[in-house]
Amino acid sequence: MTQVTAQMVKELRDRTGVGMSKCKEALQQAGGDIELAIENLRKAGVASAVKKEGRATDEGTIKVADNGSTLALVEVNAETDFVVKNENFQMFVQNLAEEVCATSPANVEDFLKQKFSKDPNLTIDGYRATIVQSLGENIQIRRIEFFPKKGNSSLMTYTHSGGKLVTLVELAGAEGEETLAKDIAMHVAAEAPEYLSSNEVPERVVAHEKEIARAQVQNKPDTIIEKILEGKLRAYYNQVCLLNQKFVKDPDLTIQALVEKRGKEIGKSLSVSQFLRWRVGE
């Protein structure tokens, strides 16, 4: 059995909002397995749906580059926050983001092999090696992503906690709606949706949520149970699906209603076509 530590109890509390004593008890019953403890708390009706926060993360930063036609994100990890804050490290990550923006590599492996434009004698991996030697820590390029800008759409990012968290939102249907896209990106940072809409929630996840809900409503007539399950499933969608969530700046509107309202104001059919949420280490 895994020993239950104070840090584990704190993580479980952060992820569920349940009191410390119940978190400790749940972890002890689950043998230190945090995911099992969460499921047991939910089946007992103590915790609601939780998001994937509170997991241990590596040190690092995320940078964004925008060359007018493409927007790119890069996450790079190091061993200590001291190195992450170093000016040379920050410049290194920004240079990488600009390289991704300019060259649109298929994946990290391909990216590492290509030439560094500011010094063609180095590959990107060679450039990384010089930074490792300079700063004295293991430094790894964790992930990259790029987004070509499309006509009749608006693309915007939001950076939080000095690059520890970066979000991106794309609106389809109109150009020049970057302000709304950024507002929704800020919402994504705060509310951590896992899916765009209920249609994107995998069947296995829906089945699991129904199982959790059934465990909470035993010994009731089947017709009542089905209605309760529908209600609990709606509540789950409202928590984890971006379009169903209440807008943090105006809880009277869901994100879907917010976008539709703006579309009517400008006479366009607006929609959220995609979003992204990166936290360092996830």
CATH number for the domain spanning 22: value is 1.10.8.10
- Return d(Cα 49, Cα 240) in angstroms, integer: 8
Give residue 252's pLDDT. Answer: 98
Residues 69 and 88 in one domain: yes
Residues 72 and 8 in one domain: no
Domain boundary among 149, 169, 204: 149
Residue 80 lies in a domain: yes
User: 72 phi and psi, to 5 degrees?
Assistant: -130, 150
Give residue 57's pLDDT. Answer: 39
Residue 46 lies in a domain: yes
CA atoms 234, 238, 241, 244: torsion sign: positive
Give residue 226's pLDDT. Answer: 82
Stretches where the chain sits below pLDDT 70 are 1, 48-58
Residues 91 and 48 in one domain: no
Residues 63 and 49 in one domain: no
Residues 97 and 23 in one domain: no
* Whether 102 contacts 146, CB under 8 Å: no
Residue 100 lies in a domain: yes
Residue 245 lies in a domain: no
Give residue 51's pLDDT. Answer: 55
**123, β-bridge pairs:** 115
Residue 244 lies in a domain: no
Residues 22 and 73 in one domain: no
Residues 67 and 25 in one domain: no
Residues 88 and 122 in one domain: yes
- Return d(Cα 17, Cα 82) in angstroms, integer: 31
What's the domain range around 34? 1-55
Q: What is the pLDDT of residues 160-215, one digit of tens each?
A: 999 999 999 999 999 999 999 999 999 999 999 999 999 999 999 999 988 888 88
Residues 6+ apart with CB under 8 A from 266: 174, 177
Give residue 241's pLDDT. Answer: 98
Residues 6+ apart with CB under 8 A from 169: 155, 156, 157, 181, 182, 184, 185, 188, 272, 274, 275, 276
Residues 31 and 14 in one domain: yes
Residue from 268, 238, 269, 267 nearest 255 by CA: 238
Give residue 1's pLDDT. Answer: 60
Give residue 54's pLDDT. Answer: 45
Domain boundary among 124, 149, 174: 149
Residue 247 lies in a domain: no
CATH of the domain at 96: 3.30.479.20
Q: What is the pLDDT of residues 122-132, one digit of tens each?
A: 999 999 999 98
pTM reported for the whole predicted model: 0.80
Residues 6+ apart with CB under 8 A from 41: 16, 18, 22, 23, 26, 47
Give how many domains the chain has, as a whole number: 2
Residue 139 lies in a domain: yes
Residue type present at position 238: N
Residues 114 and 47 in one domain: no
- Between strands 115-116 and 119-123, the pairing is antiparallel
Residues 145 and 66 in one domain: yes
Buried b (16+ CB within 10 A) or exposed e, 21-53: ebbbbbbeebeebbeebbbbbbeeebbebbeee
